[in-house]
Chain A
């Protein structure tokens, strides 16, 4: 998996190579030996060689989500390959590796397995058909008398066999079938079975190479003295002292900060300290945690763009027999991937090599090309393993640009390393948001109007400002309303006869980007907590109330019902304990979770006792990976529910490391049950949806335990005590 091959070598054909070229509009299968060099632009390909090996090359990044196992399983199953003979390698950065869902080489949006499912099945099936045909021709028997299994074709009547290795050269000369027959689901050998992940053994051995582990001969290390406040500029610094530190080669100022290049990381850090930079106060010297919350709260009363306007919500609300109104707030949250941001680059006269733990290779190429002045095709991206991504490594590639700047300046390969403090302080955070909803109910307790104001940071402002249309950032609204951009952005499940959504975009300088599920998790918190409030106001059971609203949505109903049943919904709980539910749909999958909590009303501590999760992701290619992803999502969801909040002071970020930016630890994790709903629906993503229902399920359980609503996270003892006292 660590082998990264260059664009230039992948055209060498030494066996049967089948390539898949996928675009959002469809896909093409190719027999590589029939292609002329240059016209060959596959996303994924596999090669069967005479040594009986099957090598699958992928363009996706492996950051723990398991796609490097899931995608090969799909090919191997249809190919009737022996899994033991399958090897997987990482492809180079190339337009060839675009993800069909996004039309870009990027591993985001829980899109890897679902984007490639059908094309890879067809590719595997083509290979199988060609190998069978080659065997039938060799034996001069009809093809339907031959059967493929475990990388071998057998002539059933005579018992003769030939291995795929023996057949591959002959098969390579055949034409690729246009529409090869697929296996029946009942015949699947790997798809739907729990398969051990291919990347785990080398990770357990400590041999997996992450970005920070990259070693390039003659490499220097660089660190950057960065401004402590947004927009701050250096007033003075001691260049001489820094360059006098043993091992420091040079220092130079850039818009990012002051670079210190040295022979070792330790020397670079010591050099940075010796700089003793004095900074001015920046552009927002009075900004702090409290002022930020106030800013978003005030945003609710400022005019915004209208994202949805169905019916006449004003009329519906004024005629409603009951009204419910509530305001929610969610703070900025850091990605805090365990591997801090880092990247290594070597800029030479005619080429640039980049070793990066990145989710977005093409984006990296674009920016590296701009900074180095070299054309795109002279930039080679070598993707390493990622010490987690969570979206941080798929957005603006600041951490990739930096070593390119440094290497260009010093003429040597340079690795730029961020300390944990930098990683937390200079993150592109999960967007903070303040939201106010007003809902009206008729006399039967049905929702007749829903008016929703969102004040939030704009994700697209930092990702792709051109996509902001009429003042609406659909990334920041994801999970509340459907975006106009198909196919991935449309999943909201609730519809109301009168439905109004307005969005005010904050102008704070704090950068944001997608954070596992983009903005679905914060938005699901607001939607599902408020839905609970509305159900309560209507005097209905929260499950029953949602089931009624989701009458036309079988997938959402099924996950809701599964989670409720498995959790024993409706059974009484002891005093001080509560049970809550939430559901959400995104990235083509449907999820619901039930949380059981205990609340200590004396000290404000909240203990989560159990999470029961249900997911409908269509075909679960590797069910064990699906379970692992949901478990991980729930843990991360709990971390944001109970712990995480970035603190600000004096116009910059105050939080710095894991001692003041708390992440959930093992003793705080309850048993997590995951139920995969059996489904023949279209395949959906599994990396992100699971994070969305956790926080609202816990907050709803908190209400069930105490009778008090907390309309914000994290549920720290202080916030809990404040809410209990106010009630």
Chain B
């Protein structure tokens, strides 16, 4: 039995240790927001946070992440600046890659010391969007960073 810490909850899962985290999230825990697309860590559709860092869940086995803090798209709050910015800038088309893209961006913009928009954009080649929403992802990143700054000021 493996114990997984996902989105603030602890789940005991009965799978073999070498199972990719992606399939345990999707098919065992029924968290379908994390997507399969390449299975080799090339496209970023399966990106989740492991201890706050963006990682590809298709190439990490569940055995490797026992006891670590895992966050998926479902665990990112609805009012998270990246989610809000994605709606404001109408980033999404088919949307299949976007949970992974959003997880990639949200990890990058919470880095300390803070990255500026260009620095975040420079790290976005980890993800592929086939609909070609890249121009709007760039806009979304800028808006999310502005929203984050405003929130910090308010608090």
Contact = CB atoms under 8 A, between A and B. Distances in A.
A537 interface: no
A413 to B, nearest CB: 14
Interface in A617-645: 624, 628, 631-636, 639
Nearest to B74: A206
A204 B83 contact: yes
Contact of A338 (B19, B94, B121): B94
B45 A338 contact: yes
B135 A65 contact: no
Contact of B131 (A64, A215, A624, A665): A64
A83 to B, nearest CB: 15
B132 A204 contact: no
B22 to A, nearest CB: 10
A631 B86 contact: no
Contact of B32 (A213, A388, A419, A658): A213
Given A666-B125, A667-B122, A669-B134, A205 B23 contact: no
B87 interface: yes
Interface string A198-229: 01110111111110110100000000000000
A632 B93 contact: yes
A205 B92 CA distance: 11
A204 B42 contact: no
A666 B124 contact: yes
Interface in B32-86: 32-40, 42-43, 45, 72-74, 78, 83, 86
Interface residues of A, number: 56
B92 A340 contact: no
Contact of B20 (A197, A204, A266): A266
A635 B134 contact: yes
A70 to B, nearest CB: 13
B90 interface: yes
B149 interface: no
B95 A200 contact: yes
Contacts of A203: 92, 95, 98
Contacts of A659: 40, 42
A244 interface: no
A672 B135 contact: yes
B133 interface: yes
B125 A64 contact: no
A656 B147 CA distance: 40
Given A205-B73, A628-B93, A657 B32 contact: no
B105 to A, nearest CB: 11
A200 B133 CA distance: 13
B98 to A, nearest CB: 6
A338 B83 contact: no
Contacts of A66: 93
A632 B133 contact: yes
B135 A665 contact: no
B27 A265 contact: yes
Interface in B122-139: 122, 124-125, 127-138
B38 A420 contact: yes
Given A206-B99, A658-B43, A387 B94 contact: yes
Contacts of A563: none
Given A624-B90, A659-B40, A388 B78 contact: no
A628 B136 contact: yes
Contacts of A212: 32, 35-36
B90 A197 contact: yes
Residue from the set A63, A196, A204 with the largest chain B CB neighbour count within 10 Å: A204
Nearest to A210: B96
A658 to B, nearest CB: 4
Nearest to B102: A204
Nearest to A637: B132
B40 A338 contact: no
Contact of A666 (B30, B86, B138): B138
Given A204-B86, A657-B38, A632 B132 contact: yes
A207 to B, nearest CB: 7
Contact of B33 (A206, A417, A671): A206
A547 B110 CA distance: 52
B97 interface: yes
A452 B100 CA distance: 46
B125 A631 contact: no
Nearest to B129: A338
B32 to A, nearest CB: 4
Given A215-B30, A388-B94, A265 B23 contact: yes
Interface string A57-72: 0000001111000000
B125 to A, nearest CB: 4
A8 B142 CA distance: 48
Nearest to A638: B132
B59 to A, nearest CB: 12
B135 A197 contact: no
A663 B129 CA distance: 9
Contacts of B134: 635, 665-666, 669
Given A206-B33, A265-B23, A339-B94, 6 more contacts: A64-B131, A66-B93, A203-B98, A212-B36, A385-B94, A639-B132
Interface of B: 15-16, 19-20, 23, 26-27, 30, 32-40, 42-43, 45, 72-74, 78, 83, 86-87, 90-99, 102, 121-122, 124-125, 127-138
The 10 closest A-B pairs by CB, nearest first: A206-B33, A635-B132, A387-B96, A64-B93, A64-B94, A203-B95, A206-B73, A632-B132, A658-B42, A213-B32
18 contacts: A65-B93, A197-B90, A200-B86, A200-B95, A204-B98, A206-B72, A338-B45, A339-B94, A385-B96, A387-B35, A389-B94, A420-B37, A635-B134, A658-B42, A658-B43, A659-B40, A666-B138, A667-B125
